[in-house]
């Protein structure tokens, strides 16, 4: 499914409660990467969309490349942010082996049928001890079917997205040669009403209360942080 770049940019510019899981995932990723970015080091944003995450990493001092399957997204990002943006497939990144200090992929895995290709490419292009930070939908969340129903009501042939088990996603990362460090379960919010339910502040509090790596019946999203194992 192709999204309109101007409309997708509003998700992060407007930061409306109904879009909480999208902009919160980016926000969490930036918070984690802020502790790891070194000036001039190369960080790659796969599935970069309108470039908001790549722009935030550049503001931290990283040298950034944004890659997205949709050329319209890369054209929008070039007009708005510093750094390089190009069209590319997530399972075949146009980057040399071991060339990246970090790789991020927020709101991408749901569009992929299998994370194996992206994880293998992440392991290939990351330098030893390089950082991977990606998000995925949590298939155990009871809020997920409710959100799908709200989004698809009255629509035919709606796009379907892949959801993941947190433990299985971590296992797939290990098989690719990546060492999972941390999982954050977030997105405890149903996009209903003007503020969402149960509200942004309660959603953030619930996020902080979920033990890492557990199956959560409410968190709609998973943020996985891993590092490239040394050879």
- Which residues have C-beta within 8 Å of that of residue 2, sequence separation ≥ 6? 70, 72
pLDDT band at 154 (very low <50, low <70, confident <90, very high): very low
Return d(Cα 153, Cα 214) in angstroms, integer: 31
Look at 155 and 107; give whichever has higher pLDDT. 107
DSSP-derived pairing of the beta strands 221-228 and 178-186: antiparallel
Tell me what the mean pLDDT of segment 83-109 comes to.
Answer: 97
Q: Residues 17, 49, 75, 96: what is their CA dihedral angle, to the nearest 10 degrees?
A: 150
pLDDT of 191: 62
Beta-bridged to residue 180, according to DSSP, are 226
Distances from the Cα of 152 to the Cαs of 5, 71, 149, 157, 191, in angstroms? 21, 26, 5, 9, 13
Q: Which two tokens stand for residue 49?
A: 């969309």
Number of neighbours of residue 58 by Cβ within 10 angstroms: 19
pLDDT band at 148 (very low <50, low <70, confident <90, very high): low
| 152 pLDDT higher than 50 | no
What pTM does this model have?
0.89
């Amino acid at each position: 499914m192709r999204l309109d770049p101007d409309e997708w940019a509003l998700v992060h510019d407007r930061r409306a409660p109904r879009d909480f899981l999208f902009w919160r995932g980016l926000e969490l990723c930036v918070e984690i990467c802020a502790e790891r970015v070194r000036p001039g080091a190369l960080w790659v944003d796969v599935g970069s969309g309108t470039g908001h995450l790549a722009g935030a990493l550049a503001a931290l001092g990283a040298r950034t490349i944004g890659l997205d399957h949709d050329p319209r997204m890369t054209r929008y990002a070039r007009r708005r942010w510093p750094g390089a943006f190009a069209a590319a497939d997530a399972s075949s990144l146009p980057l040399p082996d071991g060339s990246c200090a970090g790789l991020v992929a927020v709101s991408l895995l749901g569009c992929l049928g299998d994370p194996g290709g992206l994880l293998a490419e992440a392991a290939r292009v990351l330098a030893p001890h390089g950082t991977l930070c990606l998000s995925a939908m949590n298939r155990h969340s009871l809020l997920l079917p409710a959100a799908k129903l709200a989004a698809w009501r009255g629509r035919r042939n709606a796009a379907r997205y892949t959801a993941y088990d947190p433990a299985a996603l971590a296992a797939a990362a290990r098989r690719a040669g990546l060492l999972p460090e941390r999982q954050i379960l977030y997105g405890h919010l149903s996009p209903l009403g003007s503020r969402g339910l149960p509200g942004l502040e309660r959603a953030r509090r619930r996020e902080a209360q979920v033990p890492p790596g557990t199956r959560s019946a409410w968190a709609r999203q998973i943020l996985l942080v891993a590092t490239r194992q040394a050879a």
